[in-house]
């Protein structure tokens, strides 16, 4: 009995399974039929989009639109027929697109030609001057036997000797050009009272006589040198700064002069000068006199030194201090003055301002130039016109033969 019941239960289960399968089969076929057109539809839709995906750009072309390139580098690479003068240098080789995108400043500098003497090169937001020293430039002052400035002379009136060899002048100008001027003011303790007030008044006279396009740097010094005003044409701001300066401490004259020469060298104008105003000798500098003298020989900055003394000729500026100011001025092609009264100081400052506006600019390329770094002594002679007495010339003493741009 039990065996028959088991067989009956098995048959009943088997019939139930077949019944379920027959019911589920049409649903499955219907589902497959529904899925078949859906799978065919995407394949039909992919065909029109294939032409858009087939022309895959190369990696270089895809990176180009996303890679910003400097504007100057594009025309430079597209004109290989006109190479820059610096193309022989390794840094001037034409960079790839990747280099141009990662180093825009280097690419821009390599494509720019080496500028002429005194021209400006701006790269990466930093203004600097590149000077090619195989063209020697001189700022020349000419006076007569009475100390009056002589203007109106032509190029043929001048003769330049480089180590006693006559040179051919290739550049000449007597234009009333603006100047980049550094005012180096002694604010040590010994300048208190009447001295600093007289110096302020004389400086205002200088500004009244100077060129309207002059730019100024103001440096005050006592125990240390400090930049009080950087590159301005506002003469009122310059005088206001000096009005509230307190006098105290010692005299770091060499440090102040060194800082002033460096700042003026980066000035806007090609003509550069420094007014060095002090009443004493250096006693607080880190730079030495020889280091300052070397810097003056390497640059074209003219120093006008004003040593403030008492009305009786006495004061903190002794004979040694006067000799140092005269040496610094002489090396640079300038001059030292020692006014004793307020009237003499006013005349001195006005005379310096007038001299800066009546100077000659002369340039030449030395024959047989050698980049050996040696010191070359210069001498400038001037032939006075007919009917004029002897003339006197003042300029820098020489130069170092170095062609490295700086």
pLDDT digit string, tens, across residues 143-193: 999 999 999 999 999 999 999 999 999 999 999 999 999 999 999 998 887
Same domain? 278 vs 347:
yes
**227 and 282 co-located in one domain:** yes
Q: Both 330 and 232 in a single domain? A: yes
Cβ–Cβ contacts within 10 Å for residue 107, how many?
A: 24
**pLDDT band of 36, cuts 50, 70, 90:** very low
Q: Is 60 within a domain?
A: no
Q: Mark whether 189 and 272 lie in a shared domain.
A: yes
When mean pLDDT is compared over 57-71, 306-320, 367-381, the highest value belongs to 367-381
153 domain residue, yes or no = yes
pLDDT at 245: 86
Kindly state whether residues 321 and 207 are assigned to the same domain.
Answer: yes
Q: Does one domain contain both 198 and 145?
A: no
If pLDDT is split at 50, 70 and 90, which confidence band does 243 have?
confident
Asked, for residue 121, whether it belongs to a domain, the answer is no
Whether 229 and 262 map to the same domain: the answer is yes
Does the pLDDT at position 97 exceed 90?
A: no
Count the domains in the chain: 2
246 is a domain residue: yes
Is the pLDDT at 39 greater than 70? The verdict is no
Give the pLDDT score at 146.
Answer: 93
pLDDT (0 to 100) of residue 58? 43
| Whole-number Å distance between alpha carbons of 351 and 341 | 15
**Neighbouring C-alpha atoms within 13 Å toward the C-beta of 95:** 22
- In this structure, the answer to whether residues 252 and 375 fall within a common structural domain is no
Among 22-36, 96-110, 275-289, 291-305, the least confident range: 96-110
* Amino acid 234: pLDDT: 93
Q: Is residue 124 part of a domain?
A: no
**pLDDT band (50, 70, 90) for residue 194:** confident
H or E segment and range at residue 236: helix 235-243
Based on the fold, state whether residues 312 and 378 are members of the same structural domain: no
- What pLDDT is recorded for position 67? 41
* pLDDT, greater one: 113 or 3: 3
Q: Are 299 and 257 in contact (CB under 8 A)?
A: no
Strands 398-400 and 165-167: unpaired
pLDDT (mean) for 128-136: 58
My answer on whether 321 and 273 are in the same domain is: yes
Per-residue confidence (pLDDT) for residue 61, from 0 to 100: 38
User: Among 65-74, 220-229, 267-276, 325-334, which is the least confidently predicted range?
Assistant: 65-74
Q: With a cut of 90, say whether residue 278 has pLDDT above it.
A: yes
| Residue 48 domain flag | no
pLDDT for position 11: 59
Q: What is the pLDDT of residues 60-94, one digit of tens each?
A: 333 334 444 444 433 443 333 333 443 333 333 33
Using 50, 70 and 90 to split pLDDT, how confident is the model at 109? very low
**CA nearest to 204, candidates 237, 247, 171, 244:** 237
Instruction: Say whether both 299 and 324 belong to one domain.
Output: yes
Q: Name the nearest CA neighbour of 106 among 121, 123, 90.
A: 123
* Distances in whole angstroms, Cα of residue 156 to Cα of each of 65, 168, 294, 367: 59, 10, 32, 19
Q: What is the pLDDT of residue 288?
A: 96
pLDDT at 316: 63
Q: Mark whether 163 and 255 lie in a shared domain.
A: no
What average pLDDT does range 316-333 have in this prediction? 88
How do strand 392-394 and strand 136-143 relate by DSSP bridges?
antiparallel
Record the pTM.
Answer: 0.67
**How many residues are listed for the chain in this entry?**
406
Share above pLDDT 70 across residues of the chain, in percent, rounded to a whole number? 65
For residue 345, what are the domain limits? 179-357
Judge whether 345 and 202 are in contact, CB under 8 Å: yes
């Amino acid at each position: 009995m039990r065996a028959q019941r088991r067989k009956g239960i098995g048959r009943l289960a088997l019939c139930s399974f077949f019944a379920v399968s027959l019911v589920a089969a049409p649903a499955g076929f219907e589902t497959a039929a529904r899925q078949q057109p859906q799978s065919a539809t995407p394949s039909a839709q992919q065909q029109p989009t294939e032409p858009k995906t087939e022309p895959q750009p190369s990696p270089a072309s895809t990176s180009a639109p996303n890679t910003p390139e400097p504007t100057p580098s594009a025309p430079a690479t597209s004109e290989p027929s006109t190479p820059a003068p610096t193309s022989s240098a390794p840094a001037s080789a034409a960079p790839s697109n990747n280099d141009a995108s990662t180093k825009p400043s280097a690419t821009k500098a390599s494509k720019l030609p080496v500028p002429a003497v005194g021209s400006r090169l701006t790269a990466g937001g930093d203004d600097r001057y590149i000077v090619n020293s195989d063209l020697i430039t001189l700022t020349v002052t000419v006076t007569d036997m009475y100390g009056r400035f002589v203007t109106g002379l032509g190029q043929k009136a001048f003769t330049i000797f480089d180590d006693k060899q006559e040179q051919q002048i290739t550049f000449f100008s007597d234009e009333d050009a603006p100047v980049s001027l550094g005012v180096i003011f002694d604010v040590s303790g010994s300048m208190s009272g009447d001295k600093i007030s007289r110096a302020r008044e004389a400086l205002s006279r200088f500004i009244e006589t100077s060129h309207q396009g002059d730019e100024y740097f103001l440096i005050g010094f006592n125990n240390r040198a400090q930049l009080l005003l950087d590159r301005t044409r506002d003469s009122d701001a310059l005088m206001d700064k000096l009005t509230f300066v307190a006098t105290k401490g010692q005299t770091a004259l060499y440090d102040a002069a060194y800082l002033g020469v460096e700042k003026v060298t980066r000035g806007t104008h090609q003509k550069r000068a420094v007014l060095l105003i002090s009443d004493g000798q250096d006693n607080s500098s880190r730079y030495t006199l020889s280091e300052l003298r070397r810097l003056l020989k390497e640059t074209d900055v003219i120093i006008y030194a004003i040593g403030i003394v008492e009305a009786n000729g006495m004061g903190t500026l002794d004979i040694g201090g006067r000799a140092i100011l005269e040496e610094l001025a002489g090396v640079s092609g300038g001059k030292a003055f020692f006014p004793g009264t307020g009237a003499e100081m006013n005349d001195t400052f006005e005379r310096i301002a007038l001299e800066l506006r009546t100077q000659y600019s002369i340039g030449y390329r030395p024959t047989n130039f050698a980049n050996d770094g040696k010191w070359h002594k210069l001498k400038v002679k001037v032939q006075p016109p007919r009917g004029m007495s002897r003339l006197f010339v003042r300029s820098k003493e020489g130069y170092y033969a170095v062609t490295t741009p700086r």
